[in-house]
């Protein structure tokens, strides 16, 4: 018997598809726009401005839509923690790192996010790592070694510090992904996103003051920097991050982390075209190995294929 999807099922499926497209394409381009904005705005200040304005706009939109923005203390604390892990540290340190490395390198490194998620799920949830997932982990580390072992794209000591900071960002994002999937948060995704951004902006603003960043006058910003900030606020924050929070409640963290297939490709192409970032043969090889590792970690069909070949081999053997 063929079941017919009702309107609610179709709408829900369409929203999930659009949300995936959002985090795939838009987030892949945020590396480029952050890099452009960093030419005239300090990193933590840039992230703070981005999330402050984004949170304010989402709160206004929520009120216009008649949504309640009231939350209880537990939800507020959870939003505060998620906001810090995702955006305060997770995004702030990433933006800081873009001062010292190419946007394409940063994106390729973050493609290892599924690997970090897998390891944390093993540590905190006791989830077993399959044989092929283990192969994916090895491929991921080997691909990263090839990527960073290049004098053409690793310029100085700060480059290695930036790479290490991005690795810490991935741990922060992975832990937050597991936390958000089970935490009590505002039911509405707009409200949830707005509070996470609000708390993150406070952390980032405090960090900007603490690290004594140089603040520039917005009237002195070029049109390209203002355009980059506009994109980061509207598309990178409001649309993409709301989609991300929506997906974390609708699908598993492993599926959400598949954005790491597409984000690096988008970032590499944009970085090469607009910023003249180098793409070496070793970078291409490392990218292929990294994405192959991510495929082994994420794809469930690989287990079916592996079992099929294993069963076929046994029959031949007997």
Q: H helices within 65-130, ranges in order?
A: 73-83, 92-97, 103-110, 113-125
pLDDT, mean of residues 88-110: 93
Q: Residue 300: which domain range? A: 12-214+228-310
- What's the rounded Cα separation, in Å, for the pair 262 and 245? 18
3 domain-assigned: no
- What's the rounded Cα separation, in Å, for the pair 164 and 307? 37
27 domain-assigned: yes
Which pLDDT score is estimated for 241?
82
pLDDT tens-place string over residues 175-196: 898 898 889 999 888 899 899 9
315 domain-assigned: no
- What's the rounded Cα separation, in Å, for the pair 4 and 13? 13
Nearest to 103 by CA among 222, 243, 306, 268: 268
| 8 A C-beta contact, residue 267 and residue 31 | yes
Domains: count for the chain: 1
142 domain-assigned: yes
pLDDT tens-place string over residues 268-309: 999 999 999 988 898 899 989 988 888 887 665 444 333 433
Which pLDDT score is estimated for 155?
66
5 domain-assigned: no
pTM of the model: 0.83
Nearest to 144 by CA among 297, 285, 295, 296: 285
Q: In 10 A of CB 32, how many CB atoms?
A: 24
221 domain-assigned: no
Nearest to 90 by CA among 174, 8, 23, 11: 174
Least confident segment among 34-43, 113-122, 268-277, 302-311:
302-311
129 domain-assigned: yes
250 domain-assigned: yes
Q: Of 228-237, 243-252, 255-264, which one has max mean pLDDT?
A: 228-237
- What's the rounded Cα separation, in Å, for the pair 53 and 50? 6
């Amino acid at each position: 018997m063929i079941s017919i999807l009702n309107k609610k099922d179709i709408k829900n499926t369409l929203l999930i598809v659009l949300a995936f497209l959002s985090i795939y394409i838009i987030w892949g381009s945020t590396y480029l726009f952050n890099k452009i904005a960093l030419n005239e705005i300090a990193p933590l200040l840039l992230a703070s401005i981005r999330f402050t304005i984004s949170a304010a706009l989402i709160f206004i939109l929520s009120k216009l839509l008649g949504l309640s923005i009231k939350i209880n203390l537990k939800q507020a604390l959870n939003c505060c923690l998620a906001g810090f892990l995702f955006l305060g540290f997770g995004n702030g340190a990433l933006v800081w790192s873009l001062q010292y490395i190419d946007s394409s390198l940063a994106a390729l490194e973050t493609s290892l996010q599924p690997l970090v998620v897998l390891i944390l799920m093993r540590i905190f949830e006791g989830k077993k790592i399959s044989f092929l997932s283990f192969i994916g982990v090895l491929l991921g580390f080997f691909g990263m070694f090839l990527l960073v072992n290049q004098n053409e794209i690793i310029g100085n000591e700060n480059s290695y510090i930036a790479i290490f900071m991005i690795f810490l960002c991935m741990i922060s994002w992975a832990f937050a992904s597991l936390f958000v999937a089970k935490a009590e948060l505002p039911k509405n995704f707009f409200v949830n996103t707005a509070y996470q951004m609000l708390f993150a902006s406070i952390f980032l603003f405090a960090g900007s003051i603490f690290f004594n960043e140089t603040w520039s006058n917005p009237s002195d910003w070029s049109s390209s920097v203002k355009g980059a900030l506009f994109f980061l606020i509207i598309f990178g924050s409001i649309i993409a991050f709301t989609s991300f929070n929506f997906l974390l409640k609708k699908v598993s963290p492993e599926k959400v982390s598949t954005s790491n297939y597409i984000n690096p490709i988008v970032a590499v192409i944009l970085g090469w075209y607009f910023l003249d970032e180098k793409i070496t043969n070793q970078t291409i090889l490392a990218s292929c190995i990294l994405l192959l590792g991510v495929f082994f970690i994420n794809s469930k069909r690989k287990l079916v294929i592996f079992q099929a070949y294993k069963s076929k081999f046994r029959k031949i053997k007997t």
